Amino acid sequence: MRIRNLLPGAPICALFFRAVFSTVFLFALHATARCDALKIVATGDSLTGQYWSYLPQAFSGEGVSAVVPDPVYSHPATICTARGGLAAPYYVGRMAYSPEAPINYAANVLAADPDVVLFMLGINDLGWDNKVDARFDAYKNDIGSVFESFANFTNSRGERPKVVVGSVLPFDIAKNNAYWSMARPFDPMDWLDNKWNAWLEREADRYGFTYVDNFSAIQQVPDWKTSLMAAHDGLHLSERGSQWVASQFAAAAAVPEPSTLALLVLGAIGLLAYGGLRRGRA
């Protein structure tokens, strides 16, 4: 009733479509305003080293322009990458170069002054021995510190970056039997999803990050083990798999935050109210 009184004689269906159009229009303006200045930092391990080069194309498909990495982070729309390995304090990992040396990738992410952070680690930290519980506790402590540093960071634009956390991906156990030759009291896929990924999702929710369940999504792709995973080990990504992961992250990062979406909806309602008042005075 309030809507009909606000816009005398306007059918409800017309109001609905006008509200939808206004929201979409405001969202398009918001996306256009952000795309040229968006700096995206992808961080992780060898999987990140595979998919990052497909990010510019993936984000372009979402209406966000992006360029390849600039080593000094000077470009206003730079995608930066970090490659890690086994987690240690602040997931220092290991360099993909010789000689290997500890690198604090979390610090590198923040030094890149990001607008968006894409975070995903593989199974390097799952624990290839019988000390799985101790490794999991160390992982939670280390990555928890990383997430806290992300959550407390404010970039030079005075904004907190949007953080997108990707789940640990499944892998082809048959091609990695050697790693699981020792007797272990758990199934690796169950452990990944119900321990590691469950914890990642809870932490993402706690810090207000976006969580992407690629563990489940990738298994919905027909023949994912042969089409999306590398043929030589079923653990790393194929070219198509790298493109798939990049698209998953781009789609998640392009979705506006709840607060932003709420402002866009309120803006649409404001446009409707203003138009109704003008019509009522005519």
Q: Which residue has the higher pLDDT, 165 or 109?
A: 165
Separation of alpha carbons 126 and 258, rounded Å: 33
Judge whether 150 lies within some domain: yes
Structural tokens at position 237: 């990504």
Judge whether 140 lies within some domain: yes
pLDDT > 90 fraction of the chain, expressed in percent and rounded: 33
pLDDT score of 165 more than 80: yes
Q: Which residue has the higher pLDDT, 239 or 137?
A: 239
The pair phi, psi for residue 9, each rounded to 5°, is 80, -5
Number of domains in the chain: 1
Judge whether 13 lies within some domain: no
Range of the domain at 110: 37-257
pLDDT score of 8 more than 90: no
pLDDT at 203: 98
Q: Residue 163's pLDDT band (boundaries 50, 70, 90)?
A: very high
Separation of alpha carbons 81 and 54, rounded Å: 12
Judge whether 97 lies within some domain: yes
Judge whether 215 lies within some domain: yes
Judge whether 9 lies within some domain: no
pLDDT score of 278 more than 90: no
pLDDT tens digits along 56-76: 899 999 988 765 444 333 333
Q: Residue 2's pLDDT band (boundaries 50, 70, 90)?
A: very low
Check residue 178 and report its DSSP letter.
Answer: G
Q: Residue 50's pLDDT band (boundaries 50, 70, 90)?
A: confident
pLDDT tens digits along 84-95: 444 554 465 554
pLDDT at 185: 59
Separation of alpha carbons 279 and 8, rounded Å: 8
- Average pLDDT over every residue of 147-173: 94
**Residue 186 maps to which CATH number?**
3.40.50.1110
Judge whether 213 lies within some domain: yes
pLDDT tens digits along 96-141: 444 555 667 788 788 888 889 999 988 876 655 566 777 788 788 8
pLDDT at 46: 80
- The CA distances from residue 143 to 55, 77, 123, in Å, are 24, 26, 14
pLDDT score of 1 more than 90: no
> Mind spelling out the 3-state secondary structure of 60-112?
HHCCCCCECCCCCCCCCCEEEEEECCCCCHHHCCCCCCCCCCCCCHHHHHHHC
Judge whether 270 lies within some domain: no
